[in-house]
Amino acid sequence: MALPFVAVGVATVWSVLKAGIFYAFGNILVRIVMGLGVGLFSYSKLNGFFEELKNNVQTGYNTMPNVILALLDISGVSTGMNIFLSGISVLVAYYVAKLSIGVLG
Q: Is residue 3 part of a domain?
A: no
- The CA-atom distances, in angstroms, between 46 and each of 43, 59, 67, 98, 100 are 5, 20, 34, 15, 14
Identity of residue 83: I
d(CA 96, CA 46): 10
| pTM: predicted TM-score of the whole model, two decimal places | 0.54
At how many degrees (to 10) do helices 66-75 and 3-62 cross?
Answer: 130
**pLDDT the model gives residue 44:** 77
Q: Is residue 18 part of a domain?
A: no
At how many degrees (to 10) do helices 77-104 and 66-75 cross?
Answer: 60
Question: Which residues span the domain enclosing 81?
Answer: 32-104
Report, as ranges of residue numbers, the positions in the chain whose pLDDT lies below 70.
Answer: 1-17, 19, 24, 26, 100-105
Q: Is residue 94 part of a domain?
A: yes
State the total domains in the chain.
1
In percent, how much of the chain has pLDDT > 70?
A: 72
Q: Is residue 43 part of a domain?
A: yes
d(CA 89, CA 48): 11
